[in-house]
Chains A and B, each alone.
Chain A
Amino acid sequence: MGKIIVMTSGKGGVGKTTSSAAFATGLALRGFKTVVIDFDVGLRNLDLIMGCERRVVFDFINVINGEAKLSQALIKDKRIENLSILPTSQTRDKDALTREGVEKVLNELSKDFDYIVCDSPAGIERGALMALYFADHAVIVTNPEVSSVRDSDRILGVLASRSRRAEQGLEPVTQQLLLTRYDPERVERGEMLKVDDVLEILAIPLLGVIPESQAVLRASNVGMPVILDEASNAGQAYLDAVSRFLGEDVEHRFVTPQKKGLFSRLLRRSA
């Protein structure tokens, strides 16, 4: 039985899709059969981030409606063997996601895959609720910024009350924090919430800190999950986060400003 992971945040634009793509790719790199599903019906973007936008024929909604077989809608990644993408519809709306339909697809996927990564849309409406409903693990993607932290707390409340595990009185969904767009230099200047501040407020374990990095935009430009850019600090931070998710004890990097020598200052090296 595959494990279901939801990437959620409440707030939009914090890096759910970037993190879903990176995380799913990271799990596949570690040898696990992984599928990543786009739950943002009507605003499809995971396909672009994964670089498979030209290969979409059928989608998640087609499968739910019985218009296509799951195997027809799944797109195998060309770079990583164990990785598949299930894109969503660009034309329908979120009402197309029925609980029974989603459950049927997830059940079918969990027979073949070790991990199912659900890329949640922003908000706390149908799409987001469906993405988190069946989850075993939740990764809360948060920026060190007041509105994102507040929305994350809201989503934690929703997970604790409206997920399948909560409704059926099962063991609760595990919750871990992925703090993205972290800028250690601004933190040092007192302009940005510290990792510890966010942890104190949200009170969930830390999965990883992804530094603000130009590599993220570069990777999305070319449709490559940033985790495959192993030279970048963001890519390395995602690799570390995946290792921690798998239970390894990895020290947190990129949380303090990197000391820049004269040479690198002159070269203005970035990322």
Chain B
Amino acid sequence: MSIFSFFRSAPRASAVQAKERLQIVMAHERAGRTGPDYLPMLQQELLAVIAKYIDIDQNKVEVKLDRGGDCSTLELNIELPAREAAAKALKESAKLAVAGNRPQPAKDGDESDAVRMSAGGALTNGGVKKRR
């Protein structure tokens, strides 16, 4: 073991982390400064659409936003009510990732995804991400 490995294993300087964190958070804040704050609206409208077809409990909705360096994800987790037939409290969850400024909103894909139901009864369209 050379003496240099001591230096190599040193933790990253905190100032470097400070700069990186600032660059990421401020890129988002600057982008969001001009446009209106559409997230609450988007959430409401999405829920309204889902509620039109499925009886959902508004309290069992979870919205998550994860802002990364070059990619952000908006995740909506909606717990679907257990079917009356299957009274064994089978929990179903719908996970929708919503894309924002995408060049072509792949409508067809989203629709087919929404209709598709997996064996567990979950609507899955994860991995749709917004890239800046």
- The residues of A with any CB-CB pair to B shorter than 8 Å are 145-146, 149-150, 153-154, 157, 187, 189-194, 197, 200-201
A-B pairs, 3 with minimum CB distance: A190-B13, A197-B19, A190-B15
Chain A residues near B19: list those with CB within 8 A.
Answer: 193, 197, 200-201
A149 near B22 with CB under 8 A, answer yes
A190 in contact with B16 given A153-B29, A157-B30 (CB within 8 Å): yes
A197 in contact with B15 given A146-B21, A149-B22 (CB within 8 Å): yes
For chain B, what secondary structure do more than half of its interface residues adopt (helix, strand, loop), or is it mixed? helix
The one of A191, A197, A200 in contact with B14, judged by C-beta atoms closer than 8 angstroms, is A191
A146 near B16 with CB under 8 A, answer no
- The residues of B with any CB-CB pair to A shorter than 8 Å are 13-16, 18-19, 21-23, 25-26, 29-30, 33
The one of A150, A192, A200 in contact with B15, judged by C-beta atoms closer than 8 angstroms, is A192
Q: List 24 A-B contacts (CB under 8 A).
A: A146-B21, A146-B22, A150-B22, A153-B26, A153-B29, A153-B30, A154-B29, A157-B30, A189-B13, A190-B16, A191-B13, A191-B14, A191-B15, A192-B15, A193-B15, A193-B18, A193-B19, A194-B15, A197-B15, A197-B18, A200-B19, A201-B19, A201-B22, A201-B26
Closest to B11 in A: A190
B30 near A190 with CB under 8 A, answer no
